[in-house]
């Protein structure tokens, strides 16, 4: 994430959310909800002595950034978001049940492999049972299948391969378990599309930049389009030759441009 910011103009804060990366306990689901994470972000801001800040996030990070922004709006100078994802049922069904499967049927068959035919009517629940069950072999097989499905669909560039970390057991265990935990619980939001409604009601004039790949299969462009209509102060930049990955050249260029533009507009208010 640091690569998208000029360190001479920004004081940059990065954190590993509960159960991920260097956070402990690893892959823990207890006391791990969207609202726990929002509280963690606010605690980090207070601990750092920052009065307000620019909030940045991509994919699930865009969800979390928006949840924070609609809860602590006065602390947000602006938002830079990529690959918008609002944890709606339609988005979950598209990627994890039926939709993206039509574009990547070969990768989808690998995703389906750990799940018996009789359980494939609700793949989210079928994976959740295995990822939270007592059988360690079934758990890691499900975690690999879940994670590699996303890894295969991240980019439109080159052959269908997954980033190296999507083959590491520790990474895929936390990645799959925590994602599935959040998705089964609807992101811990009160209603479907809760974030879209809240963005319309609360973000008002909060400036935002949304960067989204035209051919994003993981989080389709339609969600970013709807968010932009609900949030007039946000500017949507559609990258014509990109998918979901933050590492595609057009995505990188737009994100760096966005953070540079915010630094130009807000100047010394970024520095503490």
Which residue of the set 147, 152, 216, 245 is catalytic? 216
Which residue of the set 152, 181, 212, 244 is catalytic? 244
Q: Active site includes 216?
A: yes
Instruction: Note whether 263 and 10 are within 8 A (CB).
Output: yes
Q: Which residue has the tokens 């103009």?
A: 9
Determine which helix (DSSP H) or strand (DSSP E) holds 56, and give its type and residue range: strand 53-58
Q: Active site includes 244?
A: yes
Separation of CA 149 from chain center = 15
Residue 82 phi/psi, 5-degree rounding, is -135, 145
The beta-carbon contacts of 108-113 under 8 Å, at least 24 apart in sequence, are 108/149, 110/145, 110/148, 110/149, 110/152, 111/145, 111/146, 111/148, 111/149, 112/145, 113/145
Q: Active site includes 98?
A: no
Query: Within 153-220, where are the H helices?
Result: 169-184, 194-202
Which residue of the set 59, 62, 88, 101 is catalytic? 59
Contacts of 172 (CB under 8 A, 6+ apart): 140, 143, 144, 146, 147, 148, 166
Active site residues: 59, 216, 244
């Amino acid at each position: 994430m640091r690569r998208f910011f000029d360190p001479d103009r920004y004081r940059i804060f990065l954190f590993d959310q509960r159960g991920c990366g260097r956070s402990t306990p690893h892959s823990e689901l207890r006391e791990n909800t969207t609202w726990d994470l929002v509280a963690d972000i606010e605690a980090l801001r207070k601990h750092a002595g920052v009065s307000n800040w620019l909030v940045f996030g991509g994919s699930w990070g865009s969800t979390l950034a928006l949840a924070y922004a609609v809860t602590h709006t006065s602390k947000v100078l602006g938002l830079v978001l990529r690959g918008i994802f609002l944890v709606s049922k339609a988005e979950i069904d598209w990627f994890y049940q039926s939709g993206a499967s039509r574009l990547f049927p070969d990768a989808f068959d690998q995703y389906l492999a750990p799940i018996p035919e009789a359980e494939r009517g609700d793949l989210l629940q079928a994976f959740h049972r295995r990822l939270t069950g007592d059988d360690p072999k079934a758990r890691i097989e499900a975690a690999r299948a879940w994670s590699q499905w996303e890894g295969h669909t991240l980019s439109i560039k080159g052959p269908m391969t997954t980033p190296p970390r999507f083959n590491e057991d520790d990474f895929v265990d936390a990645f799959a378990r925590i994602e599935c935990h959040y998705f089964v619980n609807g992101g811990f939001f009160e209603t479907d599309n809760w974030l879209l409604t809240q963005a319309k009601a609360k973000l008002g004039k909060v400036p935002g930049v949304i960067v989204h790949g035209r051919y994003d299969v993981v989080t389709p462009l339609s969600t970013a389009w709807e968010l932009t209509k609900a949030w007039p102060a946000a500017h949507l930049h559609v990258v014509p030759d990109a998918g979901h990955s933050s590492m595609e050249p057009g995505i990188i260029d737009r994100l760096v441009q966005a953070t540079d533009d915010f630094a130009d507009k807000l100047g010394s208010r970024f520095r503490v």
